[in-house]
Structure 1
Amino acid sequence: MKHDLQSARHASDLEYEILRLTPHAWVPNNRHLPVLVYRQVLSPSCKDLGPVFEAMFALNEWPPQWRDSIFDYHHFHSTAHEVLGAISGTAEVIIGGPGGLVVTLEAGDVVLLPAGTGHCLQATEGRFQVVGAYPEGQQWDIRRDALSEKEIAAMEALPFPRSDPVGGREGPLLKQWT
């Protein structure tokens, strides 16, 4: 089924925030790559954002793998970068591990988490759901404990994504993750 991406904002019109994190307790975060929070990529008035985000991520070489909420415990992924497209509801998400930054995500927003970035659902309003996707060739894990130096080196050596999951070859990831 083909989905119309015309409701998505053009890469040059994307509004986004940059969050630079340092390691915190057992959460490594990512010392080199910032978190990107894209605002209103899709209009929340669109009837079903799920298929549109899935089509967008797939087109930009970040195959979507699941739809659900975000875990309500602190965790991170050491073997893959992750993008989450909010398809319904509103949530407060802690980014960076226990005591981290609280970011509000609304339907139509996207958060791009480099490998190692801690995240945890703190509160929701409405039925909060996201589409989760990862760069082609990367398989995600779920970590709730500290990494060894060898694991941190492997995480930091993950292949660089070929495109931004929202803006493709013109998106902010290619500027901010260099």
Structure 2
Amino acid sequence: MVEVKTYTIPPTRLIPNSPYKLLHYPGLLLKETESPSAITETVFDRFAQNGWQCQWIARYGPTQISHYHSGAHECMAVISGEGAAIRFGVADTSEDLEESTRGHGFEAGGVTVQAGRGDVFVVPAGVAHKTHFPKPDLPEGEGLRFFSPEKAHELSEADAKRILTDVKVEGEFMMMGAYPVGSAWDFAVGGDHEGRFGDVWNVPKPEKDPVLGLSEEGLKGLWREEEKLGVKTKANL
């Protein structure tokens, strides 16, 4: 039986979040991420067989801007590193990254989850996320490095795989990001869809979970269309 943690995150003033649950599969790909030389190819293939295409690999620095994707559901898999904190569901309210990470420069609410190697997150369109405090620490002055082919969603599976599997995995906290085939992701921040949350909520549900496929243990069983009305009612929208 697969371990899964679920979080229902209602809208905030600035973030649409989603009727669908945020899904966290602790250590689901732990075995697949044991060999640095084969990680990217193994994880890429696992997602591809379920209709999700990897479009980026990121090595994380101390923090980043809280953001969400308005037109695509996202899967993030931790492929390297000891761990990091990921804050879901709230916007930064300060442009000072230090204040929005260690201080009080973010909205109330949301949830902070500790992520480790092998973990998989299925993040519904609209759910804000901010990865910070990665382990091991990077050398002073180094931060986020993002590897993504230009117009990645338009590439063939073979071309995307060739480019991403060339990225070296060397022990820092790193994740791979995948989206349902054909989906294009954007980078939206708090307030970008104020008054238009419904546009984000209507992103179609994928046919398969990125790792569990058609299993009822994955999003097929955990994302129910009837949940949408309940979330909208609670938000008084």
- Shorter-chain TM-score bucket reads 0.7 to 0.9
- State the one-letter code of the partner of 1:174: K
User: Identity rate of aligned residues, in percent?
Assistant: 30
Quote the Cα distance in structure 1 between the aligned partners of 2:8 and 2:77: 20
Is the deviation greater in 87-96 or in 62-71? Answer: 62-71
**1:68-87 pair list within 5 angstroms:** 68-69=58-59, 72-87=64-79
**What is the aligned-residue RMSD (CA, Å)?**
1.6
Please state which structure has a larger fraction of its residues in strand.
1
3-state SS in 1 of match to 2:212: coil
Quote the Cα distance in structure 2 between the aligned partners of 1:72 and 1:133: 19
Relative to the length of structure 1, the TM-score reads 0.86
1:38 CA drift (Å):
0.4
1:74 CA drift (Å):
0.6
Q: Which one of the candidate residues 14, 30, 33 is aligned to 1:43?
A: 30
| 2:9 is aligned with 1:28 | no
Runs of 4+ in 1 over 3 A off after TM superposition: none
1:140 CA drift (Å):
0.5
Quote the Cα distance in structure 1 between the aligned partners of 2:131 and 2:194: 26
Residue 163 to residue 56, structure 1, CA distance change in 2 (3 Å)? same
| 2:134 is aligned with 1:124 | yes
Q: How many residue pairs are counted as aligned between the two chains? A: 164
Which consecutive unaligned segments of at least 5 residues does structure 2 have? 91-105, 137-171, 225-237
With a CA cutoff of 8 Å and minimum separation of 6, indicate the structure with the bigger relative contact order: 2
| C-alpha contact (below 8 Å) 2:28/2:119 kept by paired residues | yes
Which consecutive unaligned segments of at least 5 residues does structure 1 have? 1-12
- State the one-letter code of the partner of 2:89: G
- State the one-letter code of the partner of 1:56: R
**1:108-123 pair list within 5 angstroms:** 108-123=118-133
Relative to the length of structure 2, the TM-score reads 0.65
| Structure 1 match to 2:111 | 101
| Structure 2 match to 1:6 | none
3-state SS in 1 of match to 2:5: strand
3-state SS in 2 of match to 1:112: strand
- State the one-letter code of the partner of 1:83: C
1:19 CA drift (Å):
0.5
